[in-house]
Amino acid sequence: MKRIFTFVLTMAAVLCLAACAVPEVGSTSRRNGLGTAFSAAVSINLDRLEAEGEIKRFGEGVWQIEFSEPNTLSGVKLEFSEGNVIASYKGLNFSVPQSAVPVKAMMLNLIRAVDDNAKLEELSGEDSDGMLKVSGSLDGGDYTLTVDKDGLLSGFDMPNNKLTMKFTDMKTAEITVEQAASEPVTEVTEAETSTAETTTEQ
């Protein structure tokens, strides 16, 4: 009887150890390409806002997005560097227009999520149709970063904020901060600022 009892306990222990050793279904890892400088076309759905444009990452914390759609944002460029945000329209600097405030918050979440994960040696997450979905959490809510087979950014979602971003035409390049800063920028007066903001809100 004791032998049978001992055998049953042994088998239970073996099964338990085997179950613990089974990896999570769909869980995988791949190379990390999030630290790469890039430019890409981006489409954004943020609650009721639908927008399109071009986005660039020059390095950690240094990003730029220029909108082509909708009309209220077309031509508006937002530049992020060292926690500061500069808005410009056709080379004229002005304060961030009201219509771009939600996008500014969205971009800050994206930047934080990408830059935090870019520090990792490898990306770990759930494999879905060749894409890797990396989950995380920020002060603004939970997020999912989607990367392709090369570990490059493909999507960014924050369901609680009704935010979805898709990145296409990804081009990696050694873009430097100096190159971004070399673009001509014109200082404007208060009157010109008011005119620029009015134009973007039409």
pLDDT digits (tens, 9 = 90+) for 137-191: 998 899 999 999 999 999 999 999 999 999 999 999 755 544 554 444 333 333 3
CA angle, 56 then 105 then 122, to 5° = 55
Backbone Cα Rg of the chain = 23
187: tokens are 């200082």
Q: State mean pLDDT over 1-26.
A: 46
| 196 and 188 Cβ atoms separated by less than 8 Å | yes
Residues 6+ away with beta carbon under 8 Å from 195? none
| 58 and 180 Cβ atoms separated by less than 8 Å | yes
Lowest mean pLDDT among 56-60, 98-102, 141-145, 163-167: 98-102
pTM higher than 0.85: no
Task: Give the pLDDT of residue 99.
Answer: 67
| 90 and 76 Cβ atoms separated by less than 8 Å | no
Bridge partners, residue 133, by sequence = 126, 146
The C-alpha atoms of residue 133 and residue 155 are separated, in whole angstroms, by 9
Q: What are phi and psi of 139, to 5 degrees?
A: -60, -30
191 CB burial (10 A radius; 0-12, 13-18, 19+): exposed
The string of DSSP letters for 103-123 reads HHHHHHHHHHHHHHHHTSSEE
Residues in the chain: 202
